[in-house]
Amino acid sequence: MSRIIAVCTSKKKGTKKKPVAEGLIRENFGLDGDGHANGTTHRQISLLAVESINTMQNLGIEIGPGDFAENLTTQGIDLVSLPIGTSLYIGEQIILELTQIGKACHTKCAIYRQIGHCIMPQEGIFAKVIRGGMVRAGDPVRIQHAG
């Protein structure tokens, strides 16, 4: 089963995020209290698969959820294979719409500066919030492809 394994937040952009017990995802805004939450962009929520984090751990790097500045860490979803427009249903309320795969890394993040490589530009995805709600680790994630 696909699920959320971590909800992560930080007050400032460009810093690692810390896992929290739960978070409020607000419609057309993002994760409440997070430095990246912004209703004026299509990148309101960032997601990264734990499988991508595990790949980096297998290189001998001690990292975990939130270290790549993702809001939600998922398990059991090949995020980068999802087409733009895909809907992610999280728990009983939240609906996210995939808007972007990867990103340009103009200013090298803390992970890049530490190890010389970051997976977020290739394997992170971004979404806008269609319907908000509370999110917690363990919440199931369902996928509905666009079209």
Confidence of residue 22 (pLDDT cuts 50, 70, 90): very high
Three-class SS state of 123: helix
pLDDT tens digit string along 82-128? 999 999 999 999 999 999 987 655 455 555 555 555 565 567 899 99
Q: Where does residue 89 rank: exposed (0-12), middle (13-18), buried (19+ CB within 10 A)?
A: middle
Residue 85 contacts residue 95 (beta carbons within 8 Å): no
Q: Which residue has the tokens 């004026």?
A: 40
| Nearest-angstrom CA–CA distance, 21 and 56 | 24
Q: pLDDT higher for 131 or 41? A: 131
**Could you tell me the CATH number of the domain that includes residue 14?**
2.40.33.20
pLDDT at 109: 56
User: Range of 58's domain?
Assistant: 3-144
Does residue 25 have a pLDDT over 70? yes
Instruction: Report the residue count for the chain.
Output: 147
pLDDT at 28: 95
Do strands 18-20 and 3-9 pair parallel, antiparallel, or not at all (unpaired)?
Answer: antiparallel
pLDDT tens digit string along 33-87? 998 888 888 889 999 999 988 887 887 778 899 988 899 999 999 998 999 999 9
List, in order, residues 6 or more apart from 147 with CB less than 8 Å away: 85
Total of domains in the chain: 1
What is the average per-residue pLDDT within 141-146? 89
Nearest to 72 by CA among 54, 90, 86: 90
pLDDT at 39: 80
pTM: 0.88
